[in-house]
Amino acid sequence: MQGVFTGVNLPLQLESFQIIAALGIFDFIDGPFLDSAGWFYDKTGWFGIIILMALENAVAPLPSEVVMPMAGWKLILEEGLSVWFVILAGFVGAFGNLVGSLIAYWVGMKGGRPFLNRYGKYVLISKSDLDRGDKFFEKHGELTVFVARLIPLIRGVISFPAGVAGMNLWKFSIYSFIGALPWSIGLAWAGYKLGERWEDVAENLAPYELPIIGIVLLAIAWFVWHQVRELRSESAQSEPTGSD
């Protein structure tokens, strides 16, 4: 099967699973998660930022749009700390983001790549697709990772395909951190300024996330349609022709 991976398709396919999961836990985030997050920060303090941000980028769709604004309110404003601690919170959040990202990167490199090499054809990912992904991340990995850290939803899933493609670990780590830093600072500052109304941050960002979900799902649908059409075309060409 002729691969069509341009360096974007594989991340979009893998991203769909976390997007679906995120949609499924919205009720949890609005209910039990918010109820327990304040208690969690009371118990763990600033270390809780690292834990929650790592979870967002490793295994769980716990949005930083909730984690960091609450930290800005709960750990800084409510404690009577200066606004300059918002910058510190941003660095702590970016470090947590890096921890979780390295976990997902390692899983992609050690588990995802061998799995796709063996079973990728069953999910329409060919060896050619993987090779193109390697070349893409080798050439554009730094910019891709940096920009992805600034985009809701995509920021939490870019690590796995980067690991699958074997992107340089140091470059991945550096650009993940500097991409997550302004995002984390901005969200913490918003929570600091809004105080008890910190939940408004996630509510105001939600309308921008829906188009992203739509674009990703359309891209996945196009990829599947394109790959299935190629499979049918190759199958028809491989059928023996009758002799005259």
Highest averaged pLDDT of the listed ranges 22-26, 94-98, 118-122, 190-194: 94-98
Report the mean per-residue pLDDT for the chain: 76
For every residue of 185-242, DSSP letters joined together read: HHHHHHHHHHGGGTTHHHHHHHHHHHHHHHHHHHHHHHHHHHHHHHHHHHHHHHSPPP
CA atoms within 13 A on the CB side of 206: 11
Percent pLDDT > 90 in the chain is 29
- 8 A C-beta contact, residue 129 and residue 3: yes
* Helices of type H across the chain: 9-24, 26-28, 34-44, 47-58, 64-71, 85-107, 113-119, 127-148, 159-164, 169-194, 200-238
Query: 133-177: per-residue pLDDT in tens?
Result: 888 888 888 998 998 888 777 777 888 889 888 899 999 999 999
Q: What's the pLDDT at 35?
A: 61
Return the higher-pLDDT residue of 128 and 134.
134
Return the closest-CA partner of residue 148 out of 178, 187, 125: 178
Domain extent listing, the chain: 9-234
